[in-house]
């Protein structure tokens, strides 16, 4: 009976798969890309750096970052909240007291030489520096070139992962990237995002018109008010975009580093915790 | 003739992506091992993101949605609008990628903890646990 059921369910899945594929095949022929642009995309492309009509501009030549942190800023802030909650949830699953971690052979400021062969270790150190430099460049130019806080944070978190694999977890902790410092950096990044989003609202108390997550001033508000400076001397900052990118860079990279450090703890350490 | 061929190619692309999504949904539902469920879920997320990027593609477009000058003339803006790809799907996908990674990490942490506590990753046995 159960064998028959299994065969039937497999047949059902196969029929479902074929039906879905055929349905999409027939539907997809009606949609092939053309040079036509959707009105929404046209609006974003037209107004992101429209110096002739500044009523809806974001002061950034990069339309994707302008959408991410200006036009659809509220959405991105809540998506970062999902990210933070996922990291906090993971850390809560692997919770333990700090004293027990210290007893597991790691002292602050100590960098132990262990891991793979000398060739791998030297190459890893060079690549480590390159990854950090590259990710910083991507984060700080996020409003000018393709890239931004999310991308740069993911790239930077590769550096400690590489160091854990080639050198050791203790090397990363010797650099100061311990569980608690990562957690503090992540919280600092998220607080930074929250304060940049709420700062324009503070100007409402001064009688100016402002929205939450406002980048440039909105001329249609009764007394047009606050806008982040989009040009500091020779540096184009894109208003709040550079601040948001750096804050997200901090939050994402330290969040992933925290997860990698927790995953790199040896299994017998947790076994020992559970026996107590 | 060429147009028909292009249409068929795009239809094939979409069909394959949907088929991959269907297979990964089957994996999430039918595989008893928690680790395999997580792997299927990541494949589902990546397939959805790829589909999004393809929807944002513009046939004949030559530039990414990035203006190359900080002082654009009206013709610059006009040619930018005429030739850049759709930025909306790219914007949606980049957050989705990072959130996917964080959620995958959370699920893996859950699976590891479940294995430590109960010695199994089999969903059928884990669902029978009480108290």
Q: How far apart are CA A209 and CA A19, in angstroms?
A: 54
Confidence (pLDDT) at A175? 85
* Cα–Cα distance list, A43 to A66, B15, B27, B72, B117 (Å): 12, 31, 40, 16, 54
Between B23 and A100, the higher pLDDT residue: B23
Between B44 and B10, the higher pLDDT residue: B44
In angstroms, what separates the C-alpha of B124 from chain A's closest C-alpha?
Answer: 16
Beta bridge partners of B84: B63
- Span B87-115, pLDDT tens digits: 999 999 988 898 899 899 999 999 998 89
Confidence (pLDDT) at B59? 81
- A199: in domain: yes
Backbone phi, psi, residue A231, to 5°: -145, 120
For residue A18, give the chain B residue with the closest CA.
B19
Q: How far apart are CA B103 and CA B121, in angstroms?
A: 18
- A222: in domain: yes
- A101: in domain: no
pLDDT of A80 over the 60 cut: yes
Residues 6+ apart with CB under 8 A from B86: A37, A38, A41, B55, B56, B57, B58, B65
- Contact criterion met (CB < 8 Å) for B95 and A16: no
> CA nearest B27: which of B18, B39, B19?
B39
- Span A165-204, pLDDT tens digits: 888 888 888 888 888 899 999 999 999 999 999 988 888 8
A with B: how many residue pairs have Cβ under 8 Å apart? 164
Query: What's the domain count of chain A?
Result: 1
pLDDT of A110 over the 60 cut: no
Confidence (pLDDT) at A275? 75
- A8: in domain: no
Q: Which of B6, B87, B93, B103 should one mutate to test binding to chain A, selecting the residue with the greatest count of A CBs within 10 A? A: B87
Q: Who among B66, B86, B102 is closest to A86 (CB)?
A: B102
- A38: in domain: no
| A97 pLDDT tier (thresholds 50, 70, 90) | low
Residue A142 in contact with residue A149, Cβ under 8 Å? yes
- For the residues B21-48, what does the mean pLDDT come to? 91
**Beta strand pairing status for A231-232 and A235-236?**
antiparallel
Which chain B residues have a beta carbon less than 8 Å from that of A67? 87-88, 91
Confidence (pLDDT) at A31? 66
Confidence (pLDDT) at A103? 45
| A57 pLDDT tier (thresholds 50, 70, 90) | confident
Which chain B residues have a beta carbon less than 8 Å from that of A38? 86, 88
- For the residues A119-124, what does the mean pLDDT come to? 90
| A2 pLDDT tier (thresholds 50, 70, 90) | low
- Span A23-36, pLDDT tens digits: 666 665 556 777 78
Q: What is the ipTM, given to two decimal places?
A: 0.86
What percent of chain A stands above pLDDT 90? 37
Confidence (pLDDT) at A101? 56
- A16: in domain: no
pLDDT of A134 over the 50 cut: yes
- A129: in domain: yes
| Residue B19 touches partner A, C-beta closer than 8 Å | yes
Averaged pLDDT score across all residues of chain B: 87
Residue A209 in contact with residue A194, Cβ under 8 Å? no
Indicate the length of chain A as a whole number. 276
Residue B87: burial class (beta carbons within 10 Å; 0-12, 13-18, 19+)? buried
Backbone phi, psi, residue A115, to 5°: 110, -145
Averaged pLDDT score across all residues of chain A: 84
Which chain B residues have a beta carbon less than 8 Å from that of A263? 108-109, 112
Q: Who among A31, A64, A86 is closest to B103 (CB)?
A: A86
For residue A23, give the chain B residue with the closest CA.
B15
Confidence (pLDDT) at A217? 83
Residue A215 in contact with residue A58, Cβ under 8 Å? yes
For residue A59, give the chain B residue with the closest CA.
B70
Which chain B residues have a beta carbon less than 8 Å from that of A34? 58-60
pLDDT of B62 over the 90 cut: no
- A174: in domain: yes
Structural domain span for residue A145:
55-96+110-275
- Contact criterion met (CB < 8 Å) for B57 and A76: no
Q: Who among A83, A89, A145 is closest to B98 (CB)?
A: A83
Which chain A residues have a beta carbon less than 8 Å from that of B77? 46, 49-50
In angstroms, what separates the C-alpha of A46 from chain B's closest C-alpha?
Answer: 6
pLDDT of B36 over the 60 cut: yes
| A205 pLDDT tier (thresholds 50, 70, 90) | confident
| DSSP 8-state class, residue A71 | I
In angstroms, what separates the C-alpha of B20 from chain A's closest C-alpha?
Answer: 10
pTM of the model: 0.86
Highest-confidence segment of A112-126, A153-167, A212-226, B116-130: A153-167
């Amino acid at each position: 009976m159960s064998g028959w059921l299994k065969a039937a369910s497999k047949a059902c899945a196969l029929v479902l798969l074929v039906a879905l594929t055929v349905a999409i095949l027939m539907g997809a022929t009606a949609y092939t890309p053309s040079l036509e642009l959707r009105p929404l995309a046209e609006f974003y492309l037209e107004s992101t750096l429209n110096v002739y009509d500044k009523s809806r501009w974001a002061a950034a030549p990069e339309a994707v970052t302008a959408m991410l942190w200006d036009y659809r800023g509220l959405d991105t802030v809540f998506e970062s909240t999902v990210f933070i909650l996922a990291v906090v949830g993971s850390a809560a699953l692997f919770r333990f007291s700090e004293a027990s971690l210290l007893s597991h052979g790691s002292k602050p400021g100590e960098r132990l030489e262990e891991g793979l062969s000398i060739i791998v270790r030297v190459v890893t150190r060079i690549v480590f520096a390159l990854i950090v430099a590259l990710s910083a460049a991507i984060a700080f130019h996020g409003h000018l070139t393709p890239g931004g806080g999310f991308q740069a944070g993911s790239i930077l978190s590769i550096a400690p992962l590489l160091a854990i694999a080639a050198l050791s977890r203790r090397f990363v902790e010797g650099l100061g990237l311990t569980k608690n410092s990562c957690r503090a950096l992540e919280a600092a990044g998220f607080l930074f995002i929250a304060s940049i989003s709420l700062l324009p609202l503070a100007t409402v108390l001064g009688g100016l018109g402002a929205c939450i997550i406002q980048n440039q001033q909105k001329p249609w508000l009764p007394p047009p008010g606050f806008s982040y400076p989009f040009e500091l001397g020779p540096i184009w900052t894109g208003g709040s975009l550079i601040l948001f990118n750096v804050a997200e860079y901090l939050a994402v990279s330290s969040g992933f580093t925290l997860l990698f450090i927790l995953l790199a703890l040896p299994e017998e350490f947790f076994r020992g915790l559970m026996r107590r | 003739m060429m147009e028909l061929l292009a249409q068929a190619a795009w239809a094939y692309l979409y069909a394959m992506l949907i088929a991959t999504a269907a297979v990964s949904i089957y994996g999430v539902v039918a595989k008893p091992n928690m680790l395999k469920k997580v792997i299927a879920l990541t494949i589902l997320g990546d397939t959805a993101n790829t589909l999004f990027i393809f929807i944002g593609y513009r046939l004949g477009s030559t530039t990414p949605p990035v203006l190359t000058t900080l002082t654009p003339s009206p013709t610059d803006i006009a040619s930018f609008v005429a030739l850049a790809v759709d930025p909306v799907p790219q914007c949606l996908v980049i957050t989705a990628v990072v959130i996917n990674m964080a959620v995958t990490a959370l699920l893996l942490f859950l699976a590891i903890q479940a294995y430590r506590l109960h010695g199994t990753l089999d969903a059928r046995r884990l669902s029978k646990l009480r108290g």
